[in-house]
Amino acid sequence: MIGPSTSGVSLGIIDTIEQAEIPNLSCAAARRITEPTKKWVFSTPQSDEDAVARIYQYLNDEGISRIAVITASSGFGIAGLEQLELQAEEAGLTIVANEEFADTDTDMTPQLTGIGGSDAEVVICWGIGPAPALIARNMRQLDIQMPLIMSHGVANRRFIEGAGGAAEGIILPAGKLLVADQLPDDDPQKDLLVEYASDFEQKYGRPADTFGGHAWDAVMLIVNAIEETGSAEPADIRDGIESTEDFVGIGGVFTFGPDQHYGLNPEAFVMIEIRDGDWHLIDV
């Protein structure tokens, strides 16, 4: 089974998957999907744990220590907040403002007004769908000058379109696909990513984004497991996925194991800045 693509739903079906004994490759990012390890559940997207690690590394490099967070009340937002809080102290960061929003909210000014009155040096937003774009626009309207960092949940053109001019200067961790042509030539993913991006745009008439890549990785990991084991039986596919090493995919280079059903690490992310309505690689 491939999917679901949202963290809340993926977490909600784990018991059913385990009882059915059918291998599941989730296309959602919450680290709790695969930690602790479940026998039949794997995931392909870069995790929220690694996204936070990359963001915090970037903030450390920039000399920033005080942060404000605004997170969705959904499964994705809750899992992201857990990681933001869990990793802050070790990274030498202090969360000085903590706000929440619903994906259906139509005005974020109350939450952002509180953040604007804090002594935060940067705002980190964790959400998917149209809400993060609204937050970017509301920050611009309120003239909040702090830098805005988004999660990997907005790594698609729809976010840039929704945020409009307010997207300018936003920074986020994302898979390398968005900046495939900007990668160094010795990057092990570059050739695959350039080819995938070209094929996707030719077929669908729009730029590829990382979310389709999660499903591509799931399909190809299953194909690879069948080829390696010579069997399409559920248990053999499960074993084949679990024994996969150094598989070059869209989301990163995957290595699984008995205690590692999330096959990536923070190196699967690059830091990207939105400039002139496009993605620009700023930190490999």
Render pLDDT for 102-126 as a digit per residue (tens, 0 to 9): 999 999 999 999 999 999 999 999 9
Please state, as a whole number, how many other Cβ atoms lie within 10 Å of the Cβ of residue 107. 10
pLDDT of 205: 95
88-104 confidence digits (pLDDT tens): 999 999 999 999 999 99
**Taking all residues of the chain, what is their mean pLDDT, rounded to a whole number?**
96
The structural domains of the chain, with segments of one domain joined by +, span 49-175+269-283
Cis amide linkage into residue 184, ω under 30° from 0 = no
Residue 12: pLDDT above 80? Answer: yes
Annotate 173-201 with b (16+ C-beta within 10 A) or e (fewer). Answer: bbbbbbbbebbeeeeebbebbeebbeebe
61: Cβ–Cβ under 8 A, 6 or more apart, which residues?
283
CATH superfamily of 49-175+269-283: Response regulator (3.40.50.2300)
The structure's pTM equals: 0.88
Helix (H) or strand (E) holding 248: strand 247-248
CA distance 155 to 188: 21
pLDDT of 92: 98
Give yes or no for a contact between 120 and 142, defined as CB atoms under 8 angstroms apart. Answer: no
252: Cβ–Cβ under 8 A, 6 or more apart, which residues?
46, 175, 176, 189, 263, 264, 265, 267, 268
pLDDT of 30: 86
Tokens 């495939």 belong to: 180
Closest CA to 172 of 137, 206, 123, 131: 123
Please state, as a whole number, how many other Cβ atoms lie within 10 Å of the Cβ of residue 226. 16
